[in-house]
Each structure stands twice: as structure tokens, then as C-alpha cells.
Amino acid sequence: MTYTVNNKKLNNWVGEVARLCQPDSIYWCDGSKKEYDELMAGMVASGAATPLKQRPDCYLFRSDPSDVARTEERTYIATPTRDEAGPTNNWIDPNELKTTMTALYKGCMKGRRMYVIPFSMGPIRSPIAKIGVQLTDSPYVVCSMRIMTRMGEAVIGALGVDGDFIPCLHSVGAPLAEGQKDVPWPCAPMEKKYVSHFPQENLIWSFGSGYGGNALLGKKCLALRIASAMASREGWMAEHMLILRLKNPAGKQYHIAAAFPSACGKTNLAMMVPTIPGWKCETIGEDIAWMKIAPDGRLHAINPESGFFGVAPGTSYASNPMAMESVKKNTIFTNCALTDDGDVWWEGMDGAPPAHAIDWKDGHWTPANKTPAAHPNARFTVPASQCPVICSDWEKPEGVPIDIFIFGGRRSNVVPLVTEAFDWDHGVFWGATAASETTAAIVGEIGVLRRDPFAMTPFCGYNMADYFRHWLEMGDRLGNKAPRIFYVDWFRKSPDGRWLWPGFGENSRVLKWMCERVEGRAGAKTTPIGYLPTESDLDLTGLNIPEENLKQLLEVDIDEWRAEARSIEEFFAQFGARFPERLTRQLRNLEKRLG
């Protein structure tokens, strides 16, 4: 160790875990580039990582084929009663879960080193930030955490002698016997994987997976599940939201936070290049927002992360040029394909596919193959500072004041391009009823929908009904300083299955309307579901879009909405007595307006 740790709670916990997991050695991470380079060199030597000839300081990892994504079915919220976790979470009694997992952790780090990763979610010493410490036996996790969080010695300084932290215990669950050779991606079988949260104790225990949100515990586990439970107790908000700053041609700034389910374009929107002349977008975050009411009475947001863990397939210069520019150096790629000239490739990248590549399973691949070269959940892990449009204030400790909230999802029909809520409660109703198609929609019919309130279904660390109530109460506290709330759907299709809206940079036209609504300058029509722009309220200059598309994008079909109201009623019913009466009233008001 190159530094001294005087924090008793930390020293005791590290000792306790070491006795249980029995690693060969303990290593305290300092967070330096030298340390990162040494760990990477070790992983290259062992065959776990491949350096990329075409991209400086970039490495490719291939996971075990059984360990490729967040495992929602193995993710638990262990509250004292099932009701505190609510109907949308997996629940196990905390004592039972601890007994099961303690048995798994016993000796699980044998033959491996245990790394201590002190990290801060949010700029170190920001009034909104929180400190966590992750113990892990995965050097891949250490290197990824160095990109995704502020980690190392500086955090130990901020923790001090008696500072508190959120303990995050992680093991890949693959001990090595004496002389046993390691595999490139150690992990445990599915039935032994657990991603467990104990919200009453602010404690995270993860076992058996080395991938993404299962293993980089600062992200979904701490910054969303544990933080959402802390936020409801402490009166702030932890949300699955991107944060961006939009600047109009006069230089006026607007800050927007938007919640969309995974793979609905959060990263693309956060780094968008507006097509309207003079408007600029700057990225603050692309996945998570932590927000507190500041002394000015407004809601201020920080991005608790310091890197992007983005989905690679589909990312291209056409869909997200800023992401493509960001990943040119210092990036970890996981489960992408490797080209013969030493670069990465994935489906949807610009240009023709390579004639030959090594696929994510380490096999030979040509375009004739039926299976994809990159896994559909292949990822890039990149420092946020490398994004060419990162906002100069992205690390401001007090955050940025939010003007606008956006909710949305992927719906091929029913939901218009954009709707403004009548007021805060109506906006919370929009958030609570957000839905997204989980499969391709059948033309002309409502597709297979999953309701994903606030895009938080997999990430809410307590009963979702109480979470809705928390949103309503935040509105009461914010009063007339509350952000305005909008709902968007970039994914509308025509009855014959064509996209009605071009999306990407053209979405700036919709954002411009929102900003002008905030200023009281843009018009709107009142409909039963909220305020909608008319064609003339949107700036469509230079956009070549058929009249018929606009008509469909901005219409409200009363019959479809009556069916929608019935489906919302069914969805709300699962929350029982805990469900806030104010949202039931919103549903009744919608029904009345629909007639």
C-alpha cells in the first residue's frame, strides 16, 4: 500500500472480508495511470486482454458466453419485508440471502488477489457525491472502475478517519486451486450469480458475474438501487437519466434530464449534434443523474459517473459521431469483434463489414456467418472527458439546474412525438406509465409492451409505489421552480412499418420547442393527453418530411388512448394500498378528458 488508511470501519471491513474470501493477497488501489497500465499488462500477458493496434491504449476483452449482460432475474432487493421491495423487484429475506451468499463467499478468492477500490460517485467532495469502496478479485473491474468513477488515493483522503462509505463486495466466484490455470474471463454459473442489495444497511453484495452493472458496483447497484433508496429517505433523487445542456443561438442555456429504458437512445441524445443552425448540445451524463434541491430552490443535477459504458452495436458516425470520436483511445471494449488489422468492429458501424474478423466468442467470422460478430450487448468503456462535446461544467460540484425532464420509450404507435404535461402531477403520471416495446411491434397493432416507469424498473431499490410518492413530494417541495415535464417518442412507425420521424440530430427540433415552452414563447394545442405542438409550433425549417408523417406524429387517437388508459389501470393495480391516490386521480382525469 502506498498510502495510510486510518478509517476504522474500512480497515475492519477489509479484514473481515479477507478472512471470509481468503484471497492470496490484498492490494489497495491508488487510482494512478501506472497502476492501470500494470494491471492491463498483466491481463495482456495472461491472455484476458488484447491490445488494439489501431487505437492507442485500447484493449479488447471477451467475456464468458454465459456472462454477457445484467442478470435481472438474479438481482435482489433484500428489504426486511417483501412489501418494502414491492411487486417489481425480486426479494429474498436479508438473513436468508446473507446465509446463502456467505457460504458462496467462503474461500471464493483463493488463488486470486483482492483489490480495494475506494471510489467517489460524483466529483470528490461535491455536496451531492457519495463514497463507496468496492472489494473485488477482478483486475478488469479495477480498470473499468478507474474509467467509470473517481477512484483511488484521493478518495481515501476525502473519507478521513470517520467518514462513511457504501461497502460493495464483489467476487467473480471462481477460486483457483493450487497450480490451476486461470481462464480469460472467470465467473460462476448462472444459478450461483447474485447481485444483492441491502438498502436498509446501504450494502451491496455481488457474486459470480464479471460483466457491466453486475460487477462495476458504482453504477446500477450503488448509483441507482442503493442511491434511490437513500434519496427517498434523504429527500433527493437518483434517476436513470442522461443530462445535457442545450444552448440557443443567443447563448442561453437549458439543462435537460431524460429517462429512457436501456437501448432507447440515451447515449445518442446526450451527445446529439443539433441540425438546427446555431443550437448546440453539450453532454453532462448519459446514464445516471443525482439531483438535489439547491439553496436557490431549484433541482441541481450531477452525473455521478466519470465514464460512459455504452452499447457498441449500432453506434456509428451516422447515429452518434461524438461517441465514435470518444472511443479512439484509452477505451476498454468488451465483446466486440476483432479485425485482422487489429481494430474493433461491431454491427451497425459505418462502412462495409470486414471480410474476416474474430468474433466475440473468439471464432472466425465472415459476413456470411449467421451469428453477429459482436455480441448485441458489446460495450465500450471510455472516460467522459474524451467526449468532444463534454460540457465545461460537467464536474461542477453543485451540479447544473434542471429546466426540463423528458420521459419516453420505444412505441411504434399510440404515443405522439412529443407531449407536454399539464402540471407536475400529470408529468409524474407520464413517468409512472412510461412503456417501451420489448420486441419489434407488429404493424398496425400495439406491440409487446413492458411498462417501465421512469425507466427505473430494474433499478429502483424499494417499492415502486413509494418511489412514485417520492416524485410527487419532490414536486410539492419544488413548487413553481420544478422542471417542466415532457414525454417523447422518437420511434413512431407508419401502419406499413416505416419510421415517421428521422430522429438523431433532428430531435433538436423537439428540444427547441420544449425550451420555447419554458420561455412561454411557443404555442401548443390542448388535447386530452396534454399539450401538443401543432406543425407550425415546431421549427421544421430545412427538414424534408412528408405532411402525412407529421399528421400521424402529432395526432391523438381517442380510441387507442382509451385502450391505453385500461392498460394503465391494470398496471397500477399491482401496487395495491401503497399506490398514491394522486396518481389514481390522474388516471380518472385522463379517462374523463377522453370522454
Q: Is 264 a catalytic residue?
A: yes
DSSP per residue, 340-401: TTS-EE-TT-SSPPPSSEE-TTS-EE-TT-SS-SS-TT-EEEEEGGG-TTB-TTTT-TT-EE
Per-residue contact flags (x/-) with Mn ion for residues 272 to 311, judged by CB under 5 A: ---------------x------------------------
Q: Binding residues for ligand OXD, per CB under 6 A?
A: 70, 212-213, 262, 287, 309
Q: Which does 453 bind (CB under 5 to 8 A by kind): Mn ion, ligand OXD, none?
A: none
Strands 404-408 and 484-488, bridge-based pairing: parallel
The site partner of 549 among ligand OXD, Mn ion, none (C-beta below 5 to 8 Å per kind) is none
Q: To 10 degrees, the CA torsion angle through 85, 91, 96, 101?
A: -110
> Which residue's Cβ has the minimum distance to Mn ion?
287
Nearer to ligand OXD, 222 or 565 (CB): 222
Residue entry with cell 439531483: 291
Between CA 301 and CA 225 the distance in angstroms is 17
Local structure of 37: helix, strand or coil: helix
**Least distance (Å) between residue 274 CB and Mn ion:** 23
What separation in angstroms does the CA of 85 have from each of 80, 95, 229? 9, 15, 10
**Among residues 21, 29, 143, 264, which one is catalytic?**
264
Nearest CB to ligand OXD, comparing residues 132 and 212: 212
517 binds, among Mn ion, ligand OXD, none (CB under 5 to 8 A by kind): none
Beta carbon of residue 407, minimum distance to ligand OXD (angstroms, whole number): 15
307 binds, among Mn ion, ligand OXD, none (CB under 5 to 8 A by kind): none
Q: Which does 253 bind (CB under 5 to 8 A by kind): Mn ion, ligand OXD, none?
A: none
Smallest gap from Cβ 346 to Mn ion, in A, equals 18
Q: Which residue is nearest to ligand OXD (CB)?
A: 262
Smallest distance, Å, CB 325 to ligand OXD? 20
Note the Cα 91 to chain centre separation in Å: 22
Q: Which is nearer to ligand OXD, 148 or 358 (CB)?
A: 148
DSSP string, 137-197: S-HHHHHHHHHHSEESHHHHHHHTTT---EEEEEE-S----TTPPPPSS----GGG-EEEE
C-beta of 64 vs 287, nearer to Mn ion: 287
Q: How far apart, in whole angstroms, are the C-alpha atoms of residue 400 and residue 245? A: 9
213 contact choice in ligand OXD, Mn ion, none (CB below 5 to 8 Å, kind-dependent):
ligand OXD
Q: Find the shortest distance in angstroms from Cβ 13 to ligand OXD.
A: 27
Q: Which of 164, 208, 245, 236 is nearest to 76 (CA)?
A: 208
- Which single residue is written with the C-alpha cell 468496492? 134
What is the nearest approach in angstroms of ligand OXD to the Cβ of residue 156?
28
How many CB atoms within 10 Å of residue 353? 17
The residues that touch Mn ion, with contacts defined as CB under 5 A, are 287
Active site residues: 264
